[in-house]
A = this chain, B = another copy of it.
Amino acid sequence: MSRSAQLAALAALLADNTRAAFCLALLDGRAWTASELAAHAGVAPSTASEHLGRLVRGGLLVERRQGRHRYVQLAGPRAAELVELLASRLDAVPDPPRTLRGSRVSEALARGRTCYDHLAGRLGVAITDAMAARGLLELTGGCALTADGTTWLTGPLGADPGQLRGTRRPLARACLDWTERRTHLAGVAGAVVCSRLFAGGWVRRVGSDRAVRLTPSGADALRDLLNLDPEPLTA
């Protein structure tokens, strides 16, 4: 079975109104009986039974028979994550329109750019990697700021501690880089790093678009602060 067929089969599990309603209901983490789900989705018990069979066979749900009841639950955190990511996309703003300029991205943009309010491109990825190497970030799975990371932001980097307070926005968040296809630092910490680099004259915008470049003093600063070799970023 080809990879695309597997992907299609997985997506097909959620590509039905009734099954989607089941999974959304099950996002509450509880175990539901088959008839509860049937009533919730407004379908006949026989229909629900078939849907549950598919979802269990597909590995998205697990079941437990107890007496005359069939309890089902999302199969685990990975299954829940899947449903949640798809569902969350419904509320989200669509991806910003992209300008397709030929089929390749300009070299300046690939080297470094801003992504909303944080840094992306090779520059953003390199800074993120260097922060992780210094123990300021943990990159397993998502992107979590360590306690050392907080200290570093307000200490050596010289960020205003007030920027790190009073917002419901996550301190650190993983953002997927389009050109590098790597995660880099976003969230409050990403914005703080970006604004400090601009404030110190360490990066500058190139022209009027989102591309940025590292200045000579910025190269020195990154070497000092993060033990980062700026060579590949200025070439």
- Which residues from chain A sit less than 8 Å from chain B, CB to CB? 2-21, 23-24, 29-31, 41, 59, 62, 64, 71, 73-90, 92, 94-98, 100, 103, 135-136, 138, 140-142, 144-151, 164-183, 187-188
Contact = CB atoms under 8 A, between A and B. Distances in A.
A133 B149 CA distance: 25
B73 A100 contact: yes
Contacts of A103: 30-31, 71
A77 B188 CA distance: 19
Contact of A88 (B15, B100, B140, B142): B140
A135 B167 CA distance: 8
A200 to B, nearest CB: 22
- Top 4 A-B residue pairs of the complex, sorted by shortest distance between their CB atoms: A76-B95, A135-B168, A11-B14, A15-B15
Main secondary structure of the interface of A (DSSP, over half): mixed
A5 to B, nearest CB: 5
A113 to B, nearest CB: 13
A144 B171 contact: yes
Contact of A98 (B76, B138, B168): B76
Contact of A183 (B5, B77, B97, B150): B77
Given A78-B95, A103-B31, A142-B144, A151 B178 contact: no
A3 B178 CA distance: 29
A82 to B, nearest CB: 6
